[in-house]
Amino acid sequence: MHKWMYQIIVQNLKSTISIREYLSQYLLIPKHLIFSLRKDKRVTVNKKYLPMNFTVKNDDHIKITFIDNDFNLPTQNLFPDNSQSIKILFENNDLLVVNKKRGIKTHPNKPQEIGTLLNFCEGYLNKFNQHAYMIHRLDQETSGAIIVGKNPAVVPILVRLIKDKTIHRTYLAWVNGIFHQKMGKINLPIGYDQTDKRKRAINGPNAKKALTEYQVIKEYKNKSLVEINIQTGRTHQIRVHMQAMGHPIIGDPLYNEKNNVDNMLLHSWKLKLITPYYMQTKIIVSPIPEEFKIV
């Protein structure tokens, strides 16, 4: 049986709160996991078990132990693939931040599929008796920093931190044209494209709120290099919003009708990472690909 243990020193509390509140509000542990921890008495405070309604204060030492049975899928059915090595930008006991190459899928879409980033991560982690867990994804033609979990205990925490935009991602893109407004926000709902199931469309069916912030940082020969931050996480959000602004991403095979470049110039550049349980902030920077250096 696998175990994942965390020993945490309580900090930054403004007042005493219950153990349950600390696990839920500060560590972002889901209710069903808190239930399992309580049932088996796998949370201790200062080396003693206490009921969940007891309080904790700053400088208390909390130990949390997760086991396989806490999770529906303690391992994923990923085939390890050692045909390519991965470029690791950051690693600790719980996660990897990997520099994804353009043209590689994030994850397999069918049984026994290999050749994706997660397969390569699985091959790397299997050497240490660990597995790769998907946290979020990048489009196949997008390069750059992406988070991969190393155990099931961090998956719900990382997913929550990304959903809440506590983990923050900044992108770079070369787009066609020169912007009249050099910085701004794009607030256009994104739904499905009725003519092409691969694509998304502004105000398409089942449209959801989508907010993108951009700032032009360089211009060259009717092209603009744009720094982009997304406040929502819709499929193809950056690509659809840039097209809607009349500035499609250079090399985009789906949304740039005048595309005559092989490489889509969209890159996950900077990552503000919050590490689960210890909640430390790390700033990860992915090297800018050679094809971006067009000036």
CATH code assigned at 23 = 3.10.290.10
56 assigned to some structural domain:
yes
Q: Is 130 contained in some domain?
A: no
DSSP, collapsed to helix, strand or coil, labels residue 245 as coil
Query: Residue 73's pLDDT is what?
Result: 58
- List Cβ neighbours of 110 (8 Å cut-off, separation of 6 or more): none
Catalytic residue among 70, 81, 139, 193: 139
For residue 76, name the pLDDT band (cuts at 50, 70, 90): low
21 in any annotated domain: yes
- What pLDDT, in 10s, does the model give residues 144-195? 999 999 999 999 999 999 999 999 999 999 999 999 999 999 999 999 999 9
Report the pLDDT value the prediction gives residue 22, as an integer from 0 to 100.
97
Task: Give residue 27's Cα distance to chain centre.
Answer: 18
| Per-residue pLDDT reduced to its tens digit, 30-49 | 999 999 999 999 999 999 99
- Looking at 17, 44, 68, the residue that finishes a domain is 68
pLDDT tens-digit map of 211-245: 999 999 999 999 999 999 999 889 999 999 999 99
Secondary structure percentages of the chain, helix, strand, coil, to 5? 15, 35, 50
pLDDT digits (tens, 9 = 90+) for 235-280: 999 999 999 999 999 999 999 988 778 889 999 999 999 999 999 9
- Residue 139 within a domain: no
Q: Is residue 242 part of a domain?
A: yes
Give me the number of domains the chain comprises.
Answer: 2
| pLDDT for the residue 295 | 58
- Looking only at the bridges linking them, the beta strands covering 3-9 and 88-91 are unpaired
pLDDT of residue 74: 42
User: How does pLDDT run across 94-134, given as a tens digit for each residue?
Assistant: 999 999 999 999 999 888 899 999 999 999 999 999 999 99
46 falls within a domain: yes
Q: What is the CATH number of the domain that holds 218?
A: 3.30.2350.10
- The CA-atom distances, in angstroms, between 285 and each of 35, 122, 181, 269, 288 are 37, 23, 27, 6, 9
Q: Which of 46, 68, 90 is the last residue of a domain?
A: 68
**Residue 75 reports pLDDT greater than 60:** no
Region 192-207: mean pLDDT is 94
Domain holding 237, by residue range, is: 170-268
Whether residue 252 lies in the annotated active site: no
Closest residue by Cα to residue 229 from 248, 212, 245: 212
